[in-house]
């Protein structure tokens, strides 16, 4: 056993089930099932990759016990009929082949069952809920809103005793089918606003019968479900129950004290372990990254500790917990198992790498919410840094069996490095050309504005440096230099062409384009930036380049809190990803920031759930956001514009940043037109696709080259 993380890597038991380590795959709604609810090849390969990565326990995504009733996604898997057993058994067998255990999550969506609304069915609930209030819908782009709210207005079915009896029986029958499929355990989903959670919550349960009122009455349904499941599976089959430790931001919702009562009751009803999670007020956009998929680290740890202190069965917890922290907490007895979602999407091989002492090789999650945002948009789950997620069943072994190729890659950003990494691992010869002095491209600037991106930057640089890849920095690629390398194929990963858009006053010295800002912050000055900066700034940047400090993003991020060559009052023109992340970065460094955006909705390029948080936090911090503006004009001291309803507006300004003006860059493709070798364009060179698009394009380009 590796010396580090010995607690995470130690064996554990849940009921009669022995696990080879303390790492658990969180049940996540992946939308990978077949349209009829069956578990097909896509689900099987997804979970097999997790098992092959070495995790102790894999828990399926939400598996409908009443399917199609209570369904939350169009491609949700089901366990409501015996016809679903064979597909589920194939998943179980694939997981077992790698020495991991498998639990199916028993689920009924209740108030959150969007597919019920989409298909004209009422939402099952304890009582009629109040209207959703807050800024949640305001954070959607129009095309996202159309997908999310495509089913119209929900209707409701307040369940009676016959309905309750049916729900209990459906959970019990689902557990029996889990045994028939060879599962090692079940997890009863009693959280996240679903049917059992809605009964537990004082906010959504206004009943006056035996299922409402007191903590014990509100917990009656989940306890009856657990007891029925226990009776159905017998005394030795492990039963895990997931509960909400609290409802974040929901006035009158579940609290830790409520959860402690529930935990005691479900242990008495027959649970073998408790998964501690949380839910939130769905009307508040920011809350969607504050509970079960939190942005803040260790969000659920204190609640898990409180519950662990009062029960005698194992406690599983999750919520952006780093490996060191989780290992130490397990060692102290604060909880028993670390459940991971996003980390294992980013790198399903994390457990194996941890066991082998290769912590530095773990591909990092950047907490961008690409995964869950896809679900909100009724799409299949994606990962920004792991493009193989969800397409594992389509992957082929594309090694260099047909002979080694020499591939020249132009551009050392994320797309270029990822394609170089993939091709080199497959046995091909790779030459990477980067015109700048360091690798990273626009990912370096993105890492300044949002620190988790730096983890990906470091990992990619580490990977290409450890592989036999020829890296040529400070090399301007053109047809002559590329032809001289005699490539079999070329990948153009040169990034977008960025420019200052036409705008009255854009030539003033206090006006910076997005490209100007990138060069300013990274010390890569050109004539435009030189003209706009003082001699003192240029001297400091020159010294930073000489010493290498300006290439140290941690140093730049830290020193920029004390000094930046920008005025106090900053207007950012453009409210998509770059503009909003710049607004956050500059506000944190003491600037008074106003964002002007021409479209009626802000934040394109940001994943939905991250956008919901960022917009809310910018408002909380006093950043002024104007959307739907027109007639923007800059002068020496002000920026004038027309507001959304047409009235005039003006903002006093010291510095203007125009975070607009980017398009695909065809420079390499046009130079190589008619070449004897194929040319593949990826990432921002095809149009602005951000990290997820660059990494995904890199996989596809590498696949095409290897298959040719």
Is residue 63 pLDDT above 50, yes or no? yes
Q: Compute φ and ψ for 125, nearest 5 degrees.
A: -160, 160
Report the distance separating Cα 214 and Cα 239, nearest Å: 25
Report the distance separating Cα 331 and Cα 517, nearest Å: 46
Report the distance separating Cα 11 and Cα 546, nearest Å: 51
- pLDDT band of 3, cuts 50, 70, 90: low
Residues of the chain by 3-state class (helix, strand, coil), percent to 5: 40, 20, 45
The helix/strand/coil state of 129 is coil
Residues above pLDDT 90, as percent of the chain: 84
The helix/strand/coil state of 529 is helix
pLDDT tens string 270-319: 999 999 999 999 999 999 999 999 999 999 999 999 999 999 999 999 99
For residue 2, the model assigns a pLDDT of 44
pLDDT tens string 661-700: 888 888 898 999 889 999 999 998 888 889 999 999 999 9
> Rounded mean pLDDT of the chain?
95
Segment holding 162, helix H or strand E: helix 161-180
Q: C-alpha distances in angstroms, 530 versus 259, 533, 537, 545, 572?
A: 60, 5, 9, 15, 20
Residues in the chain: 708
Provide DSSP, 643-656.
-TTS-EEEEE-SEE
Q: Diameter of the chain by CA atoms?
A: 82
- Is-contact 212 198, C-beta < 8 A? no
What token pair was written down for 554? 């941690």
Q: What is the mean pLDDT of residues 462-491?
A: 97
Side-chain half-sphere exposure of 466, counting CA atoms within 13 A: 10
Chain Cα centroid distance, residue 92? 26
The helix/strand/coil state of 634 is strand
pLDDT tens string 115-164: 999 999 999 999 999 998 999 999 999 888 887 877 789 999 999 999 99
What token pair was written down for 9? 């890597």
Nearest Cα residue to 59 out of 16, 101, 109: 101
For residue 398, the model assigns a pLDDT of 61
What token pair was written down for 687? 């149009």
With the C-alpha atoms ordered 128, 131, 137, 143, is the resulting torsion angle positive or negative? positive
- pLDDT band of 402, cuts 50, 70, 90: low
CB atoms within 10 A of CB 476: 10
Q: What is the mean pLDDT of residues 69-80?
A: 97
pLDDT tens string 164-198: 999 999 999 999 999 999 999 999 999 999 999 99
The helix/strand/coil state of 315 is strand
Nearest Cα residue to 313 out of 304, 301, 322: 304
Report the distance separating Cα 170 and Cα 109, nearest Å: 13
CB atoms within 10 A of CB 634: 22
Of 58-67, 340-349, 486-495, 525-534, which gets the smallest average pLDDT?
525-534
Q: C-alpha distances in angstroms, 269 versus 190, 225, 258, 303, 304?
A: 14, 9, 17, 21, 20
Report the distance separating Cα 497 and Cα 204, nearest Å: 51
CB atoms within 10 A of CB 646: 9
For residue 235, the model assigns a pLDDT of 97
The helix/strand/coil state of 547 is helix
Q: C-alpha distances in angstroms, 318 versus 301, 337, 442?
A: 8, 9, 32
Report the distance separating Cα 57 and Cα 277, nearest Å: 17
With the C-alpha atoms ordered 199, 218, 284, 341, is the resulting torsion angle positive or negative? negative
For residue 1, the model assigns a pLDDT of 40
Of 100-114, 302-316, 540-554, which gets the smallest average pLDDT?
540-554
Q: The whole model's pTM is what?
A: 0.95
For residue 336, the model assigns a pLDDT of 98
Q: For 570-607, give one letter per residue: b (16+ CB within 10 A) or e.
A: bbbbbbbbbbbbbbbbbbebebbbbbbbbeebbbbbbb
Is residue 349 pLDDT above 50, yes or no? yes
In sequence order, the 6+-apart residues with CB closer than 8 A to the CB of 358 are none
Report the distance separating Cα 419 and Cα 409, nearest Å: 8
Q: What is the mean pLDDT of residues 475-483?
A: 95
Find the helix packing angle between 608-620 and 577-587, rounded to 10°.
Answer: 40
In sequence order, the 6+-apart residues with CB closer than 8 A to the CB of 548 are none
Residue with tokens 């499929």: 181
For residue 300, the model assigns a pLDDT of 97
Structure letter (DSSP) for residue 681? E
With the C-alpha atoms ordered 108, 13, 346, 181, is the resulting torsion angle positive or negative? negative
The helix/strand/coil state of 604 is coil
Report the distance separating Cα 232 and Cα 250, nearest Å: 35
pLDDT tens string 222-260: 999 999 999 999 999 999 999 999 999 999 999 999 999
């Amino acid at each position: 056993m590796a010396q580090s993380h010995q607690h995470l890597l130690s064996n554990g038991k849940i009921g009669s089930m022995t696990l080879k380590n303390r790492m658990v795959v969180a049940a996540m709604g992946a939308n990978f099932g077949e349209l009829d609810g069956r578990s097909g090849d896509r689900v099987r390969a997804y979970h097999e990759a997790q098992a092959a990565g070495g995790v102790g326990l894999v828990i399926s995504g939400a598996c409908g016990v009443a399917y199609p009733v209570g369904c939350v996604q169009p491609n949700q898997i089901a366990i409501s009929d015996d016809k679903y057993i064979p597909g589920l058994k194939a998943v179980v067998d694939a997981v077992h082949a790698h020495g991991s255990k498998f639990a199916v999550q028993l689920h009924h969506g209740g108030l959150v069952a969007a597919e019920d609304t989409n298909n004209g069915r009422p939402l099952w609930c304890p009582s009629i809920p109040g209207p959703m209030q807050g800024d949640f819908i305001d954070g959607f782009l129009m095309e996202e809103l159309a997908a999310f709210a495509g089913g119209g207005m929900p209707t409701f079915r307040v369940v009676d005793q016959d309905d309750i009896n049916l729900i209990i029986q459906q959970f019990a029958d689902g557990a029996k089918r889990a045994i028939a499929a060879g599962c090692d355990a079940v997890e009863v989903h009693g959280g996240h606003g679903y049917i059992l959670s809605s009964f537990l919550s004082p906010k959504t349960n206004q009943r006056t019968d035996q299922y409402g009122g007191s903590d014990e009455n509100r917990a009656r349904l989940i306890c009856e479900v657990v007891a029925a499941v226990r009776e159905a599976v017998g005394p030795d089959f492990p039963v895990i129950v997931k509960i909400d430790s609290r409802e974040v931001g929901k006035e009158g919702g579940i609290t830790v004290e409520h959860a402690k009562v529930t935990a005691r009751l479900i242990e008495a009803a027959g649970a073998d372990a408790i998964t501690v999670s949380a839910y939130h007020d769905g009307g508040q956009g920011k809350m969607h990254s504050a509970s079960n998929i939190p942005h803040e680290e260790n969000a659920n740890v204190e609640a898990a500790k409180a519950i662990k202190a009062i029960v005698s069965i194992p406690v599983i917890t999750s919520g952006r917990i780093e490996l060191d922290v989780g290992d130490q907490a397990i060692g102290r007895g604060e909880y028993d198992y670390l459940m991971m979602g996003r980390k294992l999407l980013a790198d399903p091989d994390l457990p194996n790498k941890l066991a082998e002492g290769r912590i530095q090789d773990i591909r990092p999650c950047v907490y961008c919410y690409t995964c869950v945002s896809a679900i909100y948009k009724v799409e299949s789950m994606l990962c920004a840094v792991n493009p193989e997620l969800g397409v594992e069943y389509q992957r082929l072994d594309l090694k260099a069996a047909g002979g080694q190729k020499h591939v020249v890659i132009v551009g050392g950003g994320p797309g270029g490095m990822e394609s170089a990494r993939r091709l080199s691992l497959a046995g091909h010869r790779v030459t990477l050309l980067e015109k700048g002095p360091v690798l990273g491209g626009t990912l370096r600037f993105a890492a300044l504005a949002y620190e988790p991106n730096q983890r990906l930057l470091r990992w990619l640089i580490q990977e290409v440096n450890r592989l036999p890849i020829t890296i040529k920095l400070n090399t301007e690629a053109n047809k002559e230099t590329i032809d001289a390398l005699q490539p079999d194929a070329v990948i153009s990963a040169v990034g977008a062409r960025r420019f200052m858009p036409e705008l009255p006053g854009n030539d003033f010295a206090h006006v910076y384009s997005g490209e100007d800002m990138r060069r300013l912050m990274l010390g890569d000055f050109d004539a435009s930036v030189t003209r706009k900066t003082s001699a003192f700034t240029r001297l400091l940047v020159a010294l930073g380049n000489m010493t290498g400090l300006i290439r140290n993003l941690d140093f730049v991020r830290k020193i920029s809190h004390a000094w930046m060559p920008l005025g106090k009052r900053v207007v950012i023109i453009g409210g998509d990803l770059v503009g909003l992340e710049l607004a956050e970065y500059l506000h944190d460094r003491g600037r008074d920031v106003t964002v002007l955006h021409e479209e009626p909705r802000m934040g394109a390029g940001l994943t939905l759930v991250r956008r919901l948080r960022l917009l809310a936090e910018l408002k909380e911090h006093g950043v002024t956001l104007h959307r739907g503006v027109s007639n923007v004009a800059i002068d020496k001291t002000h920026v004038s514009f027309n507001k959304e309803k047409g009235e005039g507006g003006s903002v006093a300004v010291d510095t203007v940043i125009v975070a607009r003006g980017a398009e695909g860059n065809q420079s390499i493709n046009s130079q190589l037109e008619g070449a004897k070798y194929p040319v593949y364009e990826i990432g921002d060179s095809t149009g602005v696709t951000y990290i997820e698009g660059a990494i995904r394009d890199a996989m596809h380009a590498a696949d095409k080259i290897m298959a040719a």
